[in-house]
Amino acid sequence: MSFFINNNESISCLIPPNTIDNIFNLLALKNVYGYACNDGTDMISKVVVNVDSASGIPPYEFDLATQSGDTYKSTTGIFYDVGVPNDIVKVTISDACRSYSEDVTISNLQSGAKVAFSDDADICLGNPINLIGFSLVGALMGYDWTGPNGFFSSEKDPEIDPSTLDDEGFYVLSLSLKDEEKCMVKDSVYISIIDFVSLSEVYVVEDEICADDMYFMLRCDFYKEKMEYYHVKFQDEALQQGFQNIEQGIIYDENYFIIPIPTKETPDKYVMPDYYTASINVSKSKCKSEDLVFSFTISYPSSIIQQKWNDVIAVLNEKYNGGYNFSGFEWYKDDQRLVGEKGSYLYITPSFDFDANYRVMLTREFDENSFFTCPVKFKDRKSVKVYPQFASRNEPIHIETQLNGTAVVWGILGQKIAQYPVIEQQINTIYLKNSGFYVLEFISEKGDKLVFKVVVN
């Protein structure tokens, strides 16, 4: 195969197998770019095509076709006034053997064009600011950045690390084209610095957390402006007891956060009393504070203490106390230890102080850890006794009293379940066949009322 050019000399485009001197690279495009800019008065549009100098067989020819059908030729690869911003033109380069075409978009570099960017306009305090300047591959461009706090840079993509509050504001880029010195475009990007105070304090609002509570509250005093979310991560011991990490809790009340306590399948089951730890942070937009660790203690529910009479209370056994065996008991009245009271029962003569709080420190057999029950106040039952108050289905429930009257059993939703006569000076027995929470109301002949809670498993 032969081609004939102007001087009628032929050039073989096939590579003779034994003539290494005739080997040449295939025609290749180095880069191509186009732009439209202002020189202060008029718009200049320009397309530049660069050939890989080590490819093809010179001389090269350059052709440009617009979408409207206009065509242009060049021997230098430079075309002027061939389109407006965002036009797409087709450029073709040719040598003696081959041609190569590519579409080019004419970039808008006129006044008002967007040429200054950042990878993120909202920066968390202390994180880097990364500015990004517009570029045309192959074009020689000049960058002059200025900004707050005396910032300046001639890099295309400068970085400010770490960021401070003084770095918030407009960053202005003056972009120039080295091959068209009269063309320059200015643009800016605004960087916001998201600020909040480092975590300083977090504490549990409640004086005591009972295992049968539904939740407890945290208070945190560590930020200037309102945050949007809080995030809690529990350690393994708490997760094993059913606590769940809070990935994105919404902050409804400034500085207060709700921490749910896991519920169990039956009332006599509950989160194991223990010392637990977790961490919390708050966030706004994508910015998070550092973690702050907090601890909390879960106490036994007061419901595992049962009033037997007006002068005796007792800790329920394993069947009704959540499944625990206890090796130690220490009784307290209004947080003062009752010396010598180390049994599962507490006898007080002639009767309890019904205005006082009673509680017991319990030591578990399996790990020897000791925790309090939550405090409880007892009521003068006026010689009315109901036992057991934690019962199994169809287990007899006894009512003893010195007064004639009526026992009415109510369901947890307020529905009346049953009604029984109660005879004085004897043990009256009733049966509940369904599991659930009940309220047993004793009404004397004189109309006096006493209420007892009964749980049936």
Q: Give me the amino acid identity at 446.
A: K
- Domain stops at, among 141, 161, 194: 194
Indicate whether 334 pLDDT > 90.
yes
* Residues facing 337 on adjacent strands: 332
- In terms of domains, do 293 and 307 share one? no
Reading the block at residue 379, the tokens are 């009521």
In a domain, 377, yes or no: no
In a domain, 336, yes or no: yes
| Domain CATH for 27 | 2.60.40.10
**83-140: per-residue pLDDT in tens?**
889 999 999 999 888 888 999 999 999 888 999 999 999 898 889 999 999 998 888 9
- In terms of domains, do 87 and 164 share one? no
**25-81: per-residue pLDDT in tens?**
678 888 999 999 887 677 889 999 998 877 888 889 999 999 999 999 999 999 999
Indicate whether 6 pLDDT > 80.
no
Q: Are strands 141-147 and 169-177 parallel, antiparallel or unpaired?
A: antiparallel
**203-227: per-residue pLDDT in tens?**
888 889 999 999 999 888 765 667 7
> Order of strands, edge to edge, in the sheet holding 215-220?
202-204, 215-220, 256-260
pLDDT for position 198: 61
- In terms of domains, do 122 and 46 share one? no
The residue ranking higher by pLDDT, 102 or 6, is 102
- In terms of domains, do 320 and 367 share one? yes
Beta-sheet strands, E only, within 365-396: 370-372, 385-387, 390-391
- In terms of domains, do 295 and 361 share one? no
Alpha-carbon span 404 to 444, nearest angstrom: 6
pLDDT for position 439: 92
Indicate whether 1 pLDDT > 80.
no
**278-306: per-residue pLDDT in tens?**
999 888 777 887 888 999 999 999 989 98
- In terms of domains, do 278 and 351 share one? no
CA dihedral 217, 223, 224, 227 (to 10 degrees): -70
- Domain stops at, among 372, 404, 425: 372
Residue 69 burial (C-beta neighbours within 10 Å; 0-12, 13-18, 19+): exposed
Q: Nearest CA to 289 among 205, 204, 203, 225?
A: 225
**173-214: per-residue pLDDT in tens?**
999 988 887 788 999 999 999 876 566 678 888 889 999 999
Q: Nearest CA to 169 among 192, 137, 136?
A: 192
- In terms of domains, do 330 and 401 share one? no
Alpha-carbon span 270 to 451, nearest angstrom: 24
| Domain CATH for 430 | 2.60.40.1930
* Residues facing 333 on adjacent strands: 336, 358
- In terms of domains, do 207 and 190 share one? no
Residue 263 burial (C-beta neighbours within 10 Å; 0-12, 13-18, 19+): middle
Alpha-carbon span 381 to 430, nearest angstrom: 19
In a domain, 353, yes or no: yes
- In terms of domains, do 143 and 165 share one? yes
- In terms of domains, do 50 and 104 share one? yes
In a domain, 378, yes or no: no
Residue 265 burial (C-beta neighbours within 10 Å; 0-12, 13-18, 19+): exposed
pLDDT for position 13: 57
The residue ranking higher by pLDDT, 203 or 155, is 155
Mean pLDDT of 322-351: 90
pLDDT for position 111: 86
**355-405: per-residue pLDDT in tens?**
899 999 999 999 999 999 999 888 776 668 888 888 899 999 999 887 889
- Domain stops at, among 268, 299, 330: 299
Reading the block at residue 437, the tokens are 């929470």
In a domain, 380, yes or no: no
Question: Minimum mean pLDDT among 2-6, 124-128, 311-315, 320-324: which range?
Answer: 2-6
What percentage of the chain exceeds 70 in pLDDT? 89
In a domain, 379, yes or no: no
Q: How far apart are the first and last CA of the chain?
A: 99
- In terms of domains, do 407 and 363 share one? no
Helices in 220-291 by DSSP H: which ranges? 236-240
Q: Could you give the number of structural domains in the chain? A: 5
Owning domain of residue 224: 202-299
- In terms of domains, do 206 and 280 share one? yes
pLDDT for position 409: 96
Q: Nearest CA to 298 among 208, 163, 170?
A: 208
In a domain, 319, yes or no: yes
pLDDT for position 338: 93
In a domain, 99, yes or no: yes
